[in-house]
Each structure stands twice: as C-alpha cells, then as structure tokens.
Amino acid sequence: MRATTADPPVRLLAGPGDADERVVRRWGGRALGLLARHAPDAVSLAAAVAPAGLDGDAVAAVHGELLHRLRSAAASEVWFDLDGAADDPAAAAPAGVAAARLAGLAVRGEVAAVGLGLRLGAPGAGRTALDAALGALVAAAERGADAPEVELGALPEGLLVVVPERGAALGAAATAALERSHGLPPGWLQERAEPSARSAPVLTGAQEADAAAVRGVWAEHARLVLGARAAGLEPGAARHPAHLVARHLADLVLAAG
C-alpha cells in the first residue's frame, strides 16, 4: 500500500530487535493489545487523548476505522534503523534480510506492500553499515526455489536511504556507486532527510502495563502529530506500537475534519 495525499504515510522505525518481516503485523497487534488493556472503547480512548485537544465525538466517529487500520495496515512505510551499526556492519545485515522478506510476503499477497527504508545514524556515518545491509537484502532476495518458503525474499521496487536532516547526505554519486556494486538498477536508492518532528517517549515493557504511562504517551504523540500537521511538517516516525494508535487517530480525526 502506497500512501496518497489523502492518506498520509504512517512510518514505523524498527530497531535491531524488530528487524524481521512480521514487524508491521506484530506492532499492529501490540497497539491493539494496549488499547484492549487501557482504553477498550471509544469513550475511554477519548478521555485518554483529551489533553491533546482531540474532541470526544470526533474520536468516537473514527474509532472503528482506527481498529481496522491497526489490524490490516498498521504502517505504510517501515524504516529499519542502522544507527549503532557503523562500527559493526554485521549488525546491519538483519535489516536488509527483513526488507527483502517483507517484500517477499507482499509479492505473495500475505501482507500489504509497504515503502521500505534504511535509516542511517549520526551525520557522516553509516556508509559501511548501509553497504552490509544492501548486500544482505540482495542475497535474501535472490534465494533460490530450494529455500524454505518463510525465507523467500523479493527485491522491493525501491528503497529509501533516510539520513538525519542536519546530517551530511550521501549524495547522488555515493548512492549510484552502491547501486552498481550490488547490481541494483539506477535510481533504485532514494535519499531522504528524516523529518525533524519529535516522537513521544518509547515505553518500556513495565510501562506498557501502566495505564497512566500508556495514556500519557498516546496524548503526547497525538499532540505532536497535530502540531506537526498544523505547521505543515511531517510527523516523526512511530518508534513504539503505542505511537501507532495516536498517529492513526490524529490523522483520522484531521481527515474527518
């Protein structure tokens, strides 16, 4: 599924521990689990996000669609984070494998297609990690028919290279060189600056059991999304399943007008 102007992209930033092809479904399931535990109906969810300025009637009107999106299309883009892998290229390989396998699932119709990206870390770093991730992606996409079905991958239509907004860009020459070295078509890699908008805090496992902590993150992330939209900015990527609840909810309420 490719986002359109009427359907703003919802980006998920997956860290090393979540670098696999089931990440969208798993994060959507975790988001639904948090709702079931801490806001099992529209009224309780409206109360939770009221500090963000979301009207209760508006929340109730889109509640059903929110649940549907979390079940069927929790994210329209997945960025796998390579931050921290600059000094250990092997740590970047799972991200490339995950991207290929997620594309493979989409080709077989098991999941909706999503835009895929690899996010670099600190300014000027990450070229080696990116090279390793691309090598793993291409290898996974080229697995033969003897590979177990769960491991079959595919080459995505294209891939984003996400760089810190204030960081040094790789540039066209560097991305073209990476494409040639991995046998990828020209223009397959597209560099993009990361949106500067903030995300709400990431919850720990213990905090996910705390209703006040979860509701606070929903309200804070919804407020940040609304603020970014009002300023004409892209909201930051979702860095925790709780962020997906607030992100979809805010966008749905804005679209309903």
What's the pLDDT score for residue 35?
98
Q: Do 146 and 242 sit in the same domain of this protein? A: no
Q: Which of 249, 233, 253, 246 is CA-nearest to residue 203?
A: 246
What's the pLDDT score for residue 6?
53
User: How sure is the predictor about 26, in pLDDT bands with cuts at 50, 70 and 90?
Assistant: very high
Structure tokens at 87: 């000094």
Q: Do 86 and 46 sit in the same domain of this protein? A: no
Q: Which domain holds residue 92?
A: 77-193
Phi and psi angles of residue 246, each rounded to the nearest 5 degrees, phi first: -65, -40
With 80 as the cut, is the pLDDT of residue 3 above it? no
User: How sure is the predictor about 2, in pLDDT bands with cuts at 50, 70 and 90?
Assistant: very low
Per DSSP, the residues of 134-189 read HHHHHHHHT--TTS-GGG-----S-EEEEE-TTSPP--HHHHHHHHHHTTPPTT-E
What's the pLDDT score for residue 4?
37
With 50 as the cut, is the pLDDT of residue 1 above it? no
164 part of a folded domain? yes
Calpha distance 249→58 (Å, rounded) = 10
With 60 as the cut, is the pLDDT of residue 89 above it? yes
- Residue 172 CA: distances (Å) to CA of 118, 176, 188, 238: 16, 6, 11, 28
1 part of a folded domain? no
What's the pLDDT score for residue 5?
39
Q: Give the count of domains, the chain.
A: 2
Structure tokens at 90: 């092997």
Mean pLDDT (the chain) is: 89
- Domain end among 168, 193, 218: 193
With 50 as the cut, is the pLDDT of residue 92 above it? yes
User: How sure is the predictor about 166, in pLDDT bands with cuts at 50, 70 and 90?
Assistant: low
Q: Do 88 and 183 sit in the same domain of this protein? A: yes
With 70 as the cut, is the pLDDT of residue 144 above it? no
67 part of a folded domain? yes
Higher per-residue confidence, 138 vs 111: 138
Q: Do 22 and 46 sit in the same domain of this protein? A: yes
Q: Do 157 and 168 sit in the same domain of this protein? A: yes
What's the pLDDT score for residue 150?
57
249 part of a folded domain? yes
Q: Do 117 and 186 sit in the same domain of this protein? A: yes
Q: Do 164 and 210 sit in the same domain of this protein? A: no
With 90 as the cut, is the pLDDT of residue 16 above it? no
Structure tokens at 137: 């992606």
pLDDT in tens, 229-245: 999 988 989 999 999 99
200 part of a folded domain? no
Q: Do 60 and 167 sit in the same domain of this protein? A: no
Q: Do 184 and 228 sit in the same domain of this protein? A: no
Q: Do 70 and 84 sit in the same domain of this protein? A: no
Q: Do 128 and 220 sit in the same domain of this protein? A: no
Contact 119, 82 (CB under 8 A): yes
Calpha distance 86→95 (Å, rounded) = 13
Other residues' Cβ atoms within 10 Å of the Cβ of residue 162: 24
Calpha distance 80→20 (Å, rounded) = 9
Q: Which of 193, 195, 200, 208 is CA-nearest to residue 236?
A: 195
157 part of a folded domain? yes
Q: Do 64 and 16 sit in the same domain of this protein? A: yes
pLDDT in tens, 113-133: 899 999 987 655 578 889 999
User: How sure is the predictor about 181, in pLDDT bands with cuts at 50, 70 and 90?
Assistant: very high
pTM comes to: 0.90
